[in-house]
Amino acid sequence: MHAMNNVRFEKKGAVAVVTIDRPKALNALNFETLKELQCCFYEIDMDREIGAVILTGGGEKAFVAGADIAHMQELDARAGAEFAELGHQVMSAVENLKQPVIAAVNGFALGGGCELAISCDIRIASENARFGQPEVNLGVIPGFGGTQRLPRIIGRGLAAELLFTGDMIDATEAHRIGLVNKVVLAEQLLPTCMTMAEKITSKGPVAIRLCKETMKNGLEMDIGRACRYEAVQFGQCFATSDQKEGMKAFLEKRRAEFTGE
C-alpha cells in the first residue's frame, strides 16, 4: 500500500479497516482523499486474504461531512466534472468490491459522506450519527450517486424528502426508515462491526462473494431474469471446494474448513 495522508488502512486478521482520517475537516472528501480511497479499494479487491471491510471516519464527530466544500469552491467546469467522475469511481469501487463493506457511521454522514455510506453493503451507526443530503443548501445536487442510491434503499418518498429539504436525521430515525441496520453506543461501534465482519469471514468466501455479486447485479434486472441469473450463480458454487467442504462438514457434524477455492 502506498503512503497515504488522509486514509488509514489496517488488517485485523481477515478484516480490513479503512479509516478516512482528516478529523479537522470532519473527514471531508477532497481530491487527494478520494484518490487514496480509490488506491486502497483497488488493493483490497486484489487481496484474497481480506474477507470483509469496515469503513469509518477518524475522530469522534464525523464519518464524512461531505465533499470538501473548500476544495469544490475552487473548481471550474472541467475540474468539477473530473471531481464528480472520481467520486463516482470511488463509490462504485466500494459497491462493486468483491468483499462486503460495513460502514461504521460514527458521526456526521452528510452529502458525499452519506453517499459513501449508502455505497456500502451494511450500515451500523453510533447514537451520535447524523445523515443528510444538504447539497440543495449549497445550490447543487448530490454528485456521487445520492439521487440514485438513496431511493433504492429507503424508497422514493423518503428519499425525495431528504433530497429536497436537505434536512438531517438522527440515528434513531435512520434506523426506523431502514437506512441503517442497527444503532449502538459509540464505544460499541467498532466492536459490533468487527463481530459482524468476523462472522462474515468465517463463512465460505466464494459464497460470500457470489452473494454480494448476485444481489447487486440481480437488483438491476426484472425478477424473472434475476432468478435465472441466481440459478446460474448457484450452479457456480458446485464447481468449488468450499461447497464440497461445507456440505461434507455438515454431514460429518464438524465445522467447515473453507479455503476460498
Q: Which of residues 86-105 bind ligand DAK (CB under 6 A)?
A: 87
Give helix then strand counts, H and E, for the chain. Answer: 11, 10
Q: Which of 9, 41, 63, 83 binds ligand DAK (CB under 6 A)?
A: 83
Report if residue 58 touches ligand DAK, rule: CB under 6 A.
no
Grid cell of 122 as nine digits: 451494511
The DSSP secondary-structure symbol of 118 reads: T
- Active-site position among 32, 49, 135, 161: 135
Report if residue 65 touches ligand DAK, rule: CB under 6 A.
yes
Residue 256, Cβ density class (10 Å: 0-12 exposed, 13-18 middle, ≥19 buried)? middle
- Active-site position among 115, 127, 187, 257: 115
Grid cell of 131 as nine digits: 445523515
Residues ≥6 apart with Cβ < 8 Å to 91: 115, 116, 119, 144, 145, 149
From residue 136 to residue 155, the character string flagging contacts with ligand DAK as x (rule: CB under 6 A) and all else as - is: --x-x-xxx-----------
Report if residue 34 touches ligand DAK, rule: CB under 6 A.
no
> Among 110, 128, 108, which residue's Cα sits nearest to residue 184?
128
Query: Taking the complex as a whole, how short is the minimal distance between the CB of residue 22 and ligand DAK, in angstroms?
Result: 9
Catalytic residues: 115, 135
Residues that bind ligand DAK (CB under 6 A): 25-26, 28, 65-70, 80, 83-84, 87, 108, 110-112, 134-135, 138, 140, 142-144
